[in-house]
Chain A
Amino acid sequence: MRNRNRIAAAAVAMTSIVAVALTGCSSGSSSADGGVGPITFASGKDLTGAMPQLIDMWNKKHPDQKVTFIELSASPDDQRNSFIQDFQAKSGKYDVLWDDVVWTSEFAAHGWLQPLDAAKVGSDAVLPAAVASATYEGKMYGAPFMTNAGLLYYRSDLVKTPPTTWAELEADCKIAKANNMDCYAGQFNQYEGLTVNVAEAINSAGGSFLSKDGKTVTVDSPEARAGLQHLVDMFKNGDINKAAITYQEQESANAFLDGKAMFLRNWPYVYTAASADDSKIKGKFAMAQLPGQDALGVSSLGGINLGVSAYSKHKKTAEAWVQWMQSTEAQKILVSVMNQASVLSALYTDPDLVKVSPYLPTLQKSELTAVPRPQTPNYNAVSLAIQKNSYAALQGKVSVDAAITQMAADITQALK
């Protein structure tokens, strides 16, 4: 009898230990230090290796408010999952997080992010499109940190002046044909990159996906059809190689770097590889703004906003840190060491920086007109609706008209 009791007690104790372990991590304490103190910063994998340098600069100045760097996966999907798990557990393990522009609305709508002071993190010095990408329902939920826009890479040895319209682009395709090359490459696999490319085509033709407030679907329009039609036509007449239906960023960049494609739509990062000493096309390429239907086109906007978790215990420090990350001092490291595009307009004309990255003035023009992708808390479902339907149209399985009609229906459902 005694034996049994002891074992029973042990079993109960074991169970309660497990129970405590399961629930214990969610307990939190209110901060008695006025929100000032050490914080953590969670970002995607730091491929540049320069993030510790930035953090050290801050830590030296603020020894009582040290920032600890938490490096997450290189995959954006995994980063988002980590953030969401942290939010759902309300743990506040990540005080400041690396927030892709397309997540900001979703995180803000769930109440996971702390609204920030627009006067401090959205001043006139910051590119307006970047501010727009961090804004949800009139409030800013992140400090724009890095931005990005698509550019048209072209072979300057074959094409003297870059095309500004689709008609000019298609006319130039004769040159590609004569040289036995593909004319145009972009990202057309069914993934986020397709949303970016299709959004650029549709926005450049004057179309849109959602109304300003993100509540009404506006894609069912002749403009959107014209935009998608442009890409479908290029696939049909061979100006885009049919293999491009499998291209993500790297495959499309490789086609250009190997000299197989004459035009490439991609982010600025390809410049580094294309201008390297061992590059086949070194000195034979240049970068321009994307062409559009009747005039220059508009790019989709990429980039990173730094969000402050609603569950952070040291919000004051977190707010000060994201503000500092936007300062000229920090942004210069971003451009010169990390080779990323700054959110500060002034840095695009800085002579020293332009010498290293001659495309900066073009990139700035592209960013000034760039349009954020649909801003909605249901972004992933909306993006999937765009991808699926435009992909089917590019494959030639459905007509452009049917694809856009279905896209509108799918987006309407995604918003529910």
Chain B
Amino acid sequence: MTVTIDRAAKARRPRRPAEARESDGRLAFWLVIPSIVVLGLVILYPVIASIVRSMFGDGIGESPFVGLQNYANALWGLGAADFWGATGFTYFVAAVTIVLETLIGLAMALVMNRAFKGRGILRASVLVPWAIPTAVAAVLWKWAFDPAGIINALTGSTIVWTGSEIPSTIAIIVADTWKTAPFIALLILAGLQVIPDEVYEAAKIDGAGAWQRFLRITLPLVRPALLVAVLFRMLDALRMYDLPWIFTHGSNGTTTLSILVVQSTLSQLKPGYGGALATLTFVFIFVTAYFFVRVLGVNAVESVGGERKERKR
């Protein structure tokens, strides 16, 4: 699409540049309108409706306007213990899983990036966990973590994994890491493959060892891909729902923000309070992602620019 438009524009531009640009703009506007309308209907409308609904009370019959009462309830009122508990757990699990998944994913990607026999099979098999639907993976791991399951059988322990807080959290982290490390590996692998071999060869000639090459070449060059992968994972992990729900039904302090939203909205039929929780979750995730992009994203650009300047000098 864009290619043909660009070509057409280039062809016409020499003749009547201003007019052509204007009519192109107008055409683009009308072409974009349907997508904007659809996006508005499926994204903007629900978000606004949820925010509006969160300003109204819950109860049988009419729901009165209560302003920010639902937010106050969640943040420092009757629901505060549940809300902050869920926030703490969600962020804790997100942080731990992202660190683990990034390290494991990076290692997987480095292995997959090497040329050796059977690489295709390895690549395919590493991706299997990611291809399994989360709900199915959760059930598999629930069986593995059963008191009479394979994990206790192999380790000889008698831990009731989904029966108390720390083991439940560990089980969830293990299952999530198993499931999504391949995703990070895949994105990093894509980043690794665009690094030209010449750079490594040059470094080798200059006498750089394997560790130095990894630190000085691989890491900086793969960083953009890595950051994107981590950002994706962060957005995903902060709205985690299915894994803890299937493992523990939110018991043992493993209620995530999403579980809390679903519990309030659907199970307890409190769309107002649930709407407030959903909006808060949205804001938390948005702010976290924004900071992530601001802090790490800006630094990445600056450091690349800085290096260039140094080199010129």
- Is A395 within 8 A of B269, CB to CB? no
The reply to whether B266 and A81 form a contact with Cβ atoms under 8 Å apart is yes
Return the contact of A242 from the options B78, B160, B249, B251 (Cβ within 8 A): B160
B268 contact from A8, A15, A381, Cβ within 8 A:
A381
Residues of A within 8 A of B (CB): 4, 7-8, 11, 14-15, 18, 77, 81, 84, 106, 109-110, 189-191, 242-243, 245-246, 377-378, 380-381, 384, 387-388, 391, 395, 413-414
By a CB distance below 8 angstroms, the chain B residues around A7 are 30
Flag if A191 contacts B60 (CB, 8 Å): no
Interface string of B243-258 (1 = CB under 8 A from A): 0000011111000000
Q: Does B26 contact A (CB under 8 A)?
A: yes
Interface pair A243/B41, CB less than 8 Å apart: no
CA distance A8 to B251 in the complex (A): 54
9 CB < 8 A contacts A-B = A7-B30, A11-B37, A109-B60, A190-B250, A190-B252, A243-B163, A246-B146, A381-B268, A384-B267
Q: How far is the CA of A414 from the CA of B41 in the complex (A)?
A: 34
B163 touches A110 (CB 8 A): no
Q: Which residues of A contact B267 (CB under 8 A)?
A: 77, 380-381, 384
B162 within 8 A of A: yes
In the complex with contacts A189-B251, A243-B160, A246-B146, A84-B269 CB distance below 8 A: yes
A4 to B60, CA, bound (A): 49
Interface pair B78/A413, CB less than 8 Å apart? yes
Say yes or no for B148: interface residue by CB 8 A criterion.
yes
Chain A residues in 8 Å Cβ range of B162: 246
Residues of B within 8 A of A391 (CB): 251
Known: A11-B37, A384-B263. Contact between A190 and B248, CB under 8 A? yes
Residue B34 is within 8 A (CB to CB) of chain A in the complex: yes
**Contact flags B28-39 to A (C-beta < 8 A → 1, else 0):** 001001100100
Answer yes or no: B63 CB below 8 A from chain A CBs: no
Residue contact B249 to A189, C-beta cutoff 8 Å: yes
- Contact: B160 with A246, CB < 8 Å? yes
Is B164 engaged at the interface, CB distance under 8 Å to the other chain?
yes
The answer to whether B147 has its CB under 8 Å from any CB of chain A is yes
- Given the known interface contacts A246-B146, A246-B163, A395-B164, the answer about A388 and B251 at a Cβ–Cβ threshold of 8 Å is yes
Sample of 11 more A-B contacts, CB < 8 Å, known A189-B249, A381-B267: A8-B30, A14-B37, A18-B37, A84-B266, A110-B60, A189-B251, A190-B249, A190-B251, A243-B148, A380-B269, A395-B164
Complex-state Cα separation, A395 to B160, whole angstroms: 11
Ranked nearest first, the 9 interchain pairs of A and B with the lowest CB-CB distance are A190-B251, A243-B147, A245-B163, A381-B268, A380-B267, A7-B30, A380-B268, A246-B162, A243-B160
Cβ < 8 Å to A, chain B residues 252-311 = 252, 263, 266-269
Q: Which chain A positions have C-beta within 8 A of B34?
A: 11, 14
Separation of A339 and B90 alpha carbons in the complex (Å): 44
Q: Which of B207-266 contact A (CB under 8 A)?
A: 248-252, 263, 266
- Complex interface: chain A residues within 8 A of B147 (CB): 243, 246
Residues of B within 8 A of A378 (CB): 268
Q: Which residues of A contact B33 (CB under 8 A)?
A: 11
Question: Which B residues touch A377, using CB under 8 A?
Answer: 60
CA distance A269 to B66 in the complex (A): 48
In the complex, what's the smallest C-beta–C-beta distance from A90 to chain B, in angstroms? 15
B17-49 Cβ-contact flags toward A at 8 Å (1 or 0): 000000000100010011001000100000000
- How far is it, in angstroms, between the C-alpha of A354 and the C-alpha of B45 when the chains are bound? 59
Mark contacts of B158-194 with chain A using CB atoms, 8 A cut-off: 1 yes-contact digit, 0 otherwise. Answer: 0010111000000000000000000000000000000
Chain B residue nearest in CB terms to A241: B147
Contact between A245 and B160, CB atoms less than 8 A apart: yes
A15–B146 touching, CB < 8 Å? no
> Whole-angstrom distance between the alpha carbons of A362 and B256 in the complex?
43
Q: B60 contacts A11, CB within 8 Å?
A: no
B85 to chain A, nearest CB (A): 11
Report how far A414 CA is from B79 CA in the complex, Å: 11
- For the complex, what is the distance from the CA of A106 to the CA of B33, rounded to whole Å? 44
In the complex, what distance in Å separates the CA atom of A29 from the CA atom of B69?
39
Q: Tell me, rounded to whole Å, the shortest Cβ–Cβ distance linking B62 to chain A.
A: 12
Q: Please determine whether A242 and B269 come into contact, CB atoms closer than 8 angstroms.
A: no
Contacts of A77 in B (CB 8 A): 266-267
| Residues of the B chain whose Cβ atoms lie less than 8 Å from the Cβ of A381 | 267-268
* Minimum CB–CB distance for A189 against chain B, Å: 7
Residues on B with C-beta less than 8 A from A110 are: 60
Partner of A15, one of B37, B148, B163: B37
A11 near B30 with CB under 8 A, answer yes
Give complex CA distance A67, B68 in Å. 47
CB distance from B286 to the nearest CB of A (A): 27
Q: Please, which residue of chain B has its CB at the minimum distance from the CB of A260? A: B148
Instruction: Give complex CA distance A381, B273 in Å.
Output: 13
User: Using Cβ atoms and an 8 Å threshold, which residues of chain A touch B60?
Assistant: 109-110, 377
| Chain B residue, CB-CB nearest to A409 | B78
Q: Whole-angstrom distance from the CB of B202 to the nearest CB of chain A? A: 55
> Which residues of chain B have C-beta atoms less than 8 A from A388's C-beta?
251
Residue of A nearest to B78 (CB): A413
Bound Cα distance from A109 to B163, whole angstroms: 36
**Across the interface, which residues of B come within 8 angstroms of A4, CB to CB?**
26, 30
Closest to B164 in A: A395
* A residues in contact with B269, CB < 8 Å: 84, 106, 380
Residues of chain A within 8 A (CB-CB) of B37 are 11, 14-15, 18
Q: A242: which B residues are within 8 A, CB to CB? A: 160, 163
Q: Which residues of chain B come closer than 8 Å to A384, judged between CB atoms?
A: 263, 267-268
Which chain B residue has the least Cβ–Cβ distance from A188?
A: B163
